[in-house]
């Protein structure tokens, strides 16, 4: 009996964050607990698109938290956002993207390993 191949997922991402993943500055993507995110698992392939640009990563870990604050307390903040951003700046960016009702769905830290870049 053979193991099933890893699942493949796709997400759109804002260009500044796409660029940080492409340069390996950002290795943790933060999302909230939509069903699409909850279906992901370590070992799966995750393709990011930003406009006409794509890159493919492998999920190495997927950690769930109850809030952005809990996530920032547990994860390596330097791997989450723009280099040099403070914890408070990261929290503000997360809350700018996701309002409280979305944060209430759960917060996921998706650990990434860049496998290839597209165009």
**Domain locations along the chain:** 8-117
Mean pLDDT of 10-35: 96
- pTM of the predicted model, to two decimals? 0.92
pLDDT band at 118; cut points 50, 70, 90: low
Which is nearest to 108 in space by CA: 28, 21, 32, 40?
32
Q: What is 8-117's CATH number?
A: 2.30.130.30
User: How many CB atoms are located within 10 Å of the residue 62 CB?
Assistant: 18
Gap between the terminal Cα atoms of the chain? 37
Quick: pLDDT tens for 69-110: 999 999 999 999 988 899 999 999 999 999 999 999 999 999
* Confidence at residue 115, expressed as pLDDT on a 0 to 100 scale: 82
């Amino acid at each position: 009996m053979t193991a099933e191949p890893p699942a493949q997922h796709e997400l759109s991402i804002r260009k500044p964050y796409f660029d940080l993943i492409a340069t390996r500055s950002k290795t943790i993507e933060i999302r909230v607990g939509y069903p699409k995110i909850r279906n992901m698992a370590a070992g799966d392939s995750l393709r990011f698109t930003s406009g006409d640009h794509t890159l493919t990563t492998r999920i190495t870990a997927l950690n769930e938290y109850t809030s952005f604050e809990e996530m920032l307390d547990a994860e390596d903040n330097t791997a989450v956002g723009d280099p040099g951003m403070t914890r408070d700046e990261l929290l503000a960016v997360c809350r700018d993207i996701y309002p409280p009702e979305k944060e209430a769905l759960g917060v996921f830290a998706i650990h990434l390993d860049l496998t290839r870049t597209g165009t």
